[in-house]
Amino acid sequence: QVQLVESGGRLVQAGGSLRLSCAASGRSFSTYAMGWFRQAPGKEREIVASIDWSGGSADYADSVKGRFTISRDNAKKTLYLQMNSLKPEDTAVYYCAATKLEGISWYIHEYDYWGQGTQVTVSS
């Protein structure tokens, strides 16, 4: 069992930066691949980035590639999302999620545990 709590979301101007954190509890965090998802009003939840259990491999949605960086600190049981060059279209509730798989997962149905979300609002 893993419990996830996101933090770091706030209002920011376009072009600005934010770092989201996801604190995990439970002994298995270091064995799970992790992901960041987001959901804008009226839209489906979409994956933003995924990272494998070790942090050695990561992948990104095309819409954020080159601007966002996912990372993890297994000793601190924390997942991060560094977001740079933010755009108004990045506005959404951001969720972290854990999958029992060890490798990167791009499929929402493969994620077993979810946080409650943190709001990111980018003003133009």
pLDDT at 60: 97
Contacts of residue 36, Cβ cutoff 8 Å, sequence gap at least 6: 20, 22, 47, 48, 49, 50, 68, 70, 79, 81, 94, 95, 96, 97
Per-residue pLDDT, 27: 80
Mean pLDDT of 95-101: 95
Q: What is the pLDDT of residues 14-65, one digit of tens each?
A: 999 999 999 999 888 889 999 999 999 999 999 999 999 999 999 999 999 9
Residue 106 to residue 51: CA distance in whole angstroms: 10
Rounded-to-integer distance, Cα 36 and Cα 80, Å = 9
Using one digit for the tens of pLDDT, what is the confidence trace for 71-94? 999 999 999 999 999 999 999 999
Residue 67's pLDDT band (boundaries 50, 70, 90)?
Answer: very high
Q: What is the 3-state secondary structure (H, E, C) of the chain?
A: CCEEEEECCCEEECCCCEEEEEEEECCCHHHCEEEEEEECCCCCCEEEEEECCCCCCEEECCCCCCCEEEEEECCCCEEEEEECCCCHHHCEEEEEEEECCCCCCCCHHHCCEECCCEEEEEEC
Check residue 73 and give its pLDDT. 97
Q: pLDDT category, 7, cuts 50, 70, 90?
A: very high
pLDDT at residue 79 in the model? 98
